[in-house]
Amino acid sequence: MIYTLRHLTTYRYRRPARFARCAIRLAPSEGEGQTVLSRALAISPEPATRASRRDFFGAEVTSVTVATPHSEFRVEAVSRVAVERGPLPEPESGPAWESVRDRAVAGRGLTPNDPVHFVFPSQRVPLVSAVTDYARESFWPGRSAYGGAFALMARIRSDFRFDSKATTVATPLAEAFALRAGVCQDFTHIMIAGLRGLGLPAAYVSGYLRTIPPPGRPRLRGADASHAWVAVWCGERWIGLDPTNGIGVRDDHIVVARGRDYGDVSPLDGIVTASGAQRLKVEVDVIPEDEGVPAVAAWA
């Protein structure tokens, strides 16, 4: 499947900002079933400095500074990506979760892909015993890691309510868990916390999900959103599981970055010297080139 992606972020300031410094992670990742055919990043006003590098986990980060006074800051990323991931594993297949856990910690590698980085709590994913106990119900002794993780994902999908008003970007994980509500970021963090509580490596993936316009209606410009899901190390490879929609990750998901939690992959982070209020608008378009093939109706 080939997608055209457009992600436009606009900040408006009541009083002109004099200076801004940002780190941008909006380039789709290469590999693991994805090929980036083209990509472009447009920033206005024109940055004073602009440099790109790879972060520890391999995502491309573009650091910019803007030194001209501005009332509006726009970052627009456009790309074409081919996604061909292949089928998900057979249900309940793969090594038992206990051996996955032990081998992850016994590994000798410290490269970005080594699962050992994803076993420990991180800034936004503390270990919460209630969440661990919730996850434990899906991991009986000897069950395959993939089977347990898939079941946990499905439980979160059915036990939690999607509610964009229930949480904010700053809501702690334990609170969202107690509410049994939130958005993709919350569900992803909760599922990661449950898996790590049991010692299993779990990563936060940021990206996009193909959505289907309501029947008979055209695709609305900018109506999509960025999305997040979980990558679980199942012993041999990372497998994507989307707790918001209760599905395994195949060709409807486009990966941008993988990290320990949202903090590692946030699409746009920065500081600005401005004294007034700021307003943020995000528009995302995920346009499949063969528009029309039905896919799951989804929340992001």
Which 177-196 residues touch another protein, going by CB under 8 A? 185
**Which residues, listed in sequence order, are joined to residue 239 by a DSSP beta bridge?**
232
Contact yes or no for 278/13 (Cβ under 8 A): yes
Nearer to another protein, 19 or 162 (CB): 19
Among 42, 105, 130, 178, binds another protein (CB under 8 A): 105
Among 4, 113, 171, 266, binds another protein (CB under 8 A): 266
Among 3, 5, 11, 256, binds another protein (CB under 8 A): 11
Q: Give SS3 for 156.
A: helix
Among 35, 52, 93, 111, binds another protein (CB under 8 A): 111
Return the amino acid letter for 241: L
Check residue 132 for interaction with another protein (CB under 8 A).
yes
Check residue 109 for interaction with another protein (CB under 8 A).
yes
Nearest approach in angstroms of CB 268 to another protein is 4
Nearest approach in angstroms of CB 9 to another protein is 5
Among 55, 74, 154, 172, binds another protein (CB under 8 A): 55
Among 39, 6, 4, which residue's Cα sits nearest to residue 284? 6
Check residue 120 for interaction with another protein (CB under 8 A).
yes
- Residue 127's alpha-carbon distances to 102, 132, 189, 199, 259, in angstroms, are 18, 7, 10, 10, 17
Check residue 270 for interaction with another protein (CB under 8 A).
yes
Say which residues have a Cβ less than 8 Å from residue 119's Cβ, sequence separation at least 6.
101, 104, 105, 196, 199, 200, 201
Nearest approach in angstroms of CB 273 to another protein is 4
Check residue 243 for interaction with another protein (CB under 8 A).
no
Parallel/antiparallel/unpaired status of strands 161-162 and 181-182: parallel
Among 64, 118, 72, which residue's Cα sits nearest to residue 269? 64
- The angle, 0 to 180 degrees and rounded to 10, between the axes of the packed helices 145-159 and 97-106 is 110
Name the one range near another protein by CB under 8 A: 38-46, 81-89, 245-253, 271-279: 271-279
- Tell which phi-psi region holds residue 244, choosing left (phi > 0), alpha (psi between -120 and 50) or beta: alpha
Nearer to another protein, 38 or 273 (CB): 273
Residues that bind another protein (CB under 8 A): 9, 11, 18-23, 49, 55-57, 63, 65, 105-111, 114, 116-117, 119-120, 123, 127, 132, 169, 185, 197-199, 263, 266-275, 278, 280, 282
